[in-house]
Structure 1
Amino acid sequence: MKTRALAGLAIAAAATVALSGCVQSANASNAADPSSGTTDLTVFISGDTNVQDLWEKSLIPAFEKQHPTIHVSTSIDLHGEHDAQTQANLATAVKAGKRVAYDLVDAGFVSTAGKAGLLTKVSATSIPNLANVPEATKQQGGTSAIPYRASSVLLAYDSKKVTDPPKTLDDLLAWIRANPGQFAYNSPSSGGSGGSFVATVLAKYLSDSEQETMQTSYDKSLESEWDKGFQALKDLGPSMYQKGVYPNGNDQVVQMLGSGQISMAPVWSDQFITSQKTGIIPKTIKAVQIADPSFTGSASFLGIPKTEPTAQKRAAEELADFVLSSSGQQLVASAVSGYPVIPLDSLPKSVSEQFADADPSNLRLGFQSDFAADMNAAWDAKVPQ
């Protein structure tokens, strides 16, 4: 199985140059081979290494075993640092009617790209197992997004040191100020758990209508409403771990919790469960969801580029359908502790019990991807001291 890392310079190059490279790569490596009867697919991943491992070590081997004429490789943009450029290149390719260098997208911008007409519309006709996904979950992503797992950010804490964890955001902010050096969150551009903490503090100062707009569309003029939230985050700086140290990525936060360097932090639900399974964090680390507002969470989506040739499109649909099967969802639950998006009664008891309280159709959504990118840049400029 071959992995191709996206080079930052290539992604950040001018759109015409980047597009040219994508098309050449696609024509070279992603074409069906009529003589052998095989089809090559590339899954583009915008995320962390745990998601890469899910595909490379679990989903792809199981899928290829069932579909020996389809060969799947991956390409990753670690932490999604180049999402804006990736979307721009995809838009340029679709407008020109040309292919890109991947066939299935696993990224936070899938719903936005789908609503912009850059991805293929999907249905239970072409992906039968999509019929088993709750309608509310599908509506989160739109008609071109394929929900395949879900997760939320939780507040993790060391129960040996914290006997009464915060229940609301205000409680949490008060706890941080009262316990300097015992809380950390990663810089939002380096991982979603820190991004969720930042977005949740910003949301505290937004109206319901402003939050809804920032979740579903893009109006840059609203970003002036973030000023109070960013000031609150800056004011928290002296109370952070080592007075202003912000870890780089979700993994570092979990490791700091596990080693006892901090007592509390926002963490992804799936990463928390996996880290306890592997012993990175002990069972004495607990996790809860806060309220008013809660941390964010939602389904994660797959998408198929609109300009896919027929053979690749059909193969990508088969791969997506496998991921939504009972066996595929078991692999998701086992590998990354992702919330299943199909009914729990269709999964083994061991899986259904683990996620008995999960409701991915009722999670507070984060900011739309353009807002999220602006938020990350604004945090870099305004918060670290």
Structure 2
Amino acid sequence: MRSIALALALLPASAGAQDLLDLSWEEVVEEARGGEVNFFLWGGADNINRYVSEYLGGLLKPYEITLNRVGVADTTEAVNLVLGEKAAGNDNEGAVDLIWINGENFRTMMEADLAYCGYTDLLPNAEYVDWQSPAIAYDFGLATEGCEVPWSGAQFAFAYDSARMDEPPRSIEAILDFARENPGQFTYPAPPDFNGAAFVRHVFYEVAGGPDRLLGDFDQQVFDEVAGETWELLNELEPSLWREGATYPTSITQLQQLFANGEVALSFEYNPSQFGAGVEAGQFPETVRSYGLDGGTLANTNYTLIPYNAANKAAALVLQNLILSPEAQLEKARPEVWGAASVLVEDRLPSDVQESFAALPSHPSVVSPAELAGAALPELSADWIAAIEAGWIETVGTR
């Protein structure tokens, strides 16, 4: 894994942004040939890191492009790096060529005019994507506007060890009751950790009576009504949490380690395939099972984005096109590789790839995507998410 400091030194010149949009795809490939691309992404999962470094890196070799995977603990690190470069007047030789991104971080990039846009039609593999689908065209309620390329679908799931528990709690109310009845056996990462903040949103939805009141533009009055009860509920829950709520895990990685050690009885993940990967890696016992909730769980699409000042835009475009290839999406969907859901329209794929997708085995520890999709909850706009996270930090996390 390359460090951010090392990535700062990897800054070869390339064609300007507008120049690339005037080129044919063949010319873009030639512009990228022999170069490199600095891909910043969450580095907390070994299987994802291998897929990126080994598989995607291998796909780039015929183009003589070197893939530098820059692992970060949180996507905000990459976003803040681009923000800092813009403030310093570095508008052409940025260290970040591609970011794995969605949600609040995408909103930050758009509001600060930090995204490279308008190129998606240039990618040959864009033909496999339904760009008009709301699941693709909107990232947490914000129009993607040709500034992102979808990478994977994801839906939140919970997990338990079936050797320790016959039947897990299958609603937010039941999970909170479980925590009260089994002190120390439940916790969640402190926001702004992505997964911890998603759990808090599930509680927020529960208090609101579902997502309907919360969809659309941010409403301060509705927020205040729901937030007051939510923070009261979560503060009252604290003494029942792991370590009596005196501290929270700081990341999903820490929560999964507590779960693996048997210190907590429940876990969760916005990418439930990680439970299968954890079993295969020997982190979790084979009896771990992931599951959805009766009332549904949050679902979203994640993307890749090229910053406006990326030094290697042509190489980033080549990588994005490969990410959208049927072969790369199929490899990513294999449970032993990643198990991430494809973003491609199935009936647009070559028949042999369709057959390969249909033949993919399922992992017993990973809940079926189809089962989860039957009760998918929409994500809120970034304004709502930011307010919920800030409210938790101020009212719950700092008590």
Give the shorter-chain TM-score range: 0.7 to 0.9
Match of 1:73 among 64, 68, 92: 68
Deviation readout 1:236-272 (Å, 9 max, x if unpaired): 1111123114223112222222222222122231322
SS state of the match for residue 269, structure 2? strand
Is the contact between residue 188 and residue 195 of structure 1 (CA under 8 Å) also seen in structure 2? yes
Q: Pick which of 72-81 and 232-241 moved more.
A: 72-81
SS state of the match for residue 276, structure 1? helix
Instruction: Find the aligned partners of 2:41 and 2:277 in 1 and give their Cα distance.
Output: 20
SS state of the match for residue 251, structure 1? helix
CA drift of 1:220 comes to: 6.7
Is the contact between residue 14 and residue 313 of structure 2 (CA under 8 Å) also seen in structure 1? no
Residue in structure 1 matched with residue 370 of structure 2 by the alignment: 357
Is the contact between residue 181 and residue 243 of structure 1 (CA under 8 Å) also seen in structure 2? yes
Give the 3 Å change call, closer, same or farther, for CA 198–86 of structure 1 in structure 2. Answer: farther
1:34-113 equivalence runs, <5 A: 38-46=34-42, 48-50=44-46, 53-54=49-50, 56-68=52-64, 70-82=65-77, 85-86=80-81, 88-89=83-84, 98-108=92-102, 109=104, 111-112=106-107
Is the contact between residue 183 and residue 241 of structure 1 (CA under 8 Å) also seen in structure 2? yes
Match of 2:138 among 132, 137, 140: 140
Letter in 2 for 1:337: G
Instruction: Find the aligned partners of 2:327 and 2:181 in 1 and give their Cα distance.
Output: 47
Match of 2:166 among 163, 166, 179: 163
CA drift of 1:60 comes to: 3.6
Letter in 2 for 1:383: V
Deviation readout 1:61-111 (Å, 9 max, x if unpaired): 22222321x222133431235477357447758x98545321212123464
Match of 1:378 among 365, 380, 391: 391
SS state of the match for residue 164, structure 2? coil
Residue in structure 1 matched with residue 154 of structure 2 by the alignment: 151
Letter in 2 for 1:58: E
CA drift of 1:231 comes to: 1.5
Is the contact between residue 339 and residue 358 of structure 1 (CA under 8 Å) also seen in structure 2? no
Instruction: Find the aligned partners of 1:41 and 1:115 in 2 and give their Cα distance.
Output: 22
Q: Pick which of 117-126 and 164-173 moved more.
A: 117-126
Match of 2:265 among 254, 263, 266: 263
TM-score, normalised with respect to structure 2: 0.75
Instruction: Find the aligned partners of 2:165 and 2:115 in 1 and give their Cα distance.
Output: 46
Deviation readout 1:185-237 (Å, 9 max, x if unpaired): 12223x32222111111222337455213xxx666776534222122111111
Give the 3 Å change call, closer, same or farther, for CA 188–37 of structure 1 in structure 2. Answer: closer
Is the contact between residue 82 and residue 94 of structure 2 (CA under 8 Å) also seen in structure 1? no
Is the contact between residue 187 and residue 264 of structure 2 (CA under 8 Å) also seen in structure 1? yes
Residue in structure 2 matched with residue 234 of structure 1 by the alignment: 235
Residue in structure 1 matched with residue 4 of structure 2 by the alignment: 5
Instruction: Find the aligned partners of 2:294 and 2:99 in 1 and give their Cα distance.
Output: 32
Percent identity (aligned):
18
Give the 3 Å change call, closer, same or farther, for CA 101–298 of structure 1 in structure 2. Answer: same
Instruction: Find the aligned partners of 1:243 and 1:162 in 2 and give their Cα distance.
Output: 22
Residue in structure 1 matched with residue 116 of structure 2 by the alignment: 120
Give the 3 Å change call, closer, same or farther, for CA 370–86 of structure 1 in structure 2. Answer: farther
Instruction: Find the aligned partners of 1:124 and 1:290 in 2 and give their Cα distance.
Output: 36
Deviation readout 1:283-322 (Å, 9 max, x if unpaired): 2221111143x3323111111223457xx33322211111
Give the 3 Å change call, closer, same or farther, for CA 377–186 of structure 1 in structure 2. Answer: same
Is the contact between residue 186 and residue 194 of structure 1 (CA under 8 Å) also seen in structure 2? yes
Instruction: Find the aligned partners of 1:342 and 1:160 in 2 and give their Cα distance.
Output: 37
CA drift of 1:357 comes to: 1.9
Is the contact between residue 183 and residue 264 of structure 1 (CA under 8 Å) also seen in structure 2? yes
Instruction: Find the aligned partners of 2:358 and 2:190 in 1 and give their Cα distance.
Output: 38
Residue in structure 1 matched with residue 285 of structure 2 by the alignment: 282
Give the 3 Å change call, closer, same or farther, for CA 59–263 of structure 1 in structure 2. Answer: same
CA drift of 1:275 comes to: 0.9
Is the contact between residue 32 and residue 315 of structure 2 (CA under 8 Å) also seen in structure 1? no
Letter in 2 for 1:139: A
User: Structure 2 regions of 5+ residues with no counterpart?
Assistant: 16-29, 347-353
Residue in structure 2 matched with residue 13 of structure 1 by the alignment: none
Instruction: Find the aligned partners of 1:282 and 1:107 in 2 and give their Cα distance.
Output: 31
Is the contact between residue 79 and residue 109 of structure 2 (CA under 8 Å) also seen in structure 1? no
Instruction: Find the aligned partners of 1:51 and 1:102 in 2 and give their Cα distance.
Output: 22
Letter in 1 for 2:69: T
Is the contact between residue 60 and residue 319 of structure 2 (CA under 8 Å) also seen in structure 1? no
Is the contact between residue 214 and residue 222 of structure 2 (CA under 8 Å) also seen in structure 1? no
Residue in structure 2 matched with residue 15 of structure 1 by the alignment: none
Letter in 2 for 1:199: R
Give the 3 Å change call, closer, same or farther, for CA 256–37 of structure 1 in structure 2. Answer: closer
Give the 3 Å change call, closer, same or farther, for CA 36–157 of structure 1 in structure 2. Answer: closer
SS state of the match for residue 286, structure 1? strand
SS state of the match for residue 296, structure 1? strand
Confirm whether residue 253 of structure 1 aligns to residue 255 of structure 2. Answer: yes
Instruction: Find the aligned partners of 1:308 and 1:250 in 2 and give their Cα distance.
Output: 29
Is the contact between residue 168 and residue 290 of structure 1 (CA under 8 Å) also seen in structure 2? yes
SS state of the match for residue 3, structure 2? strand
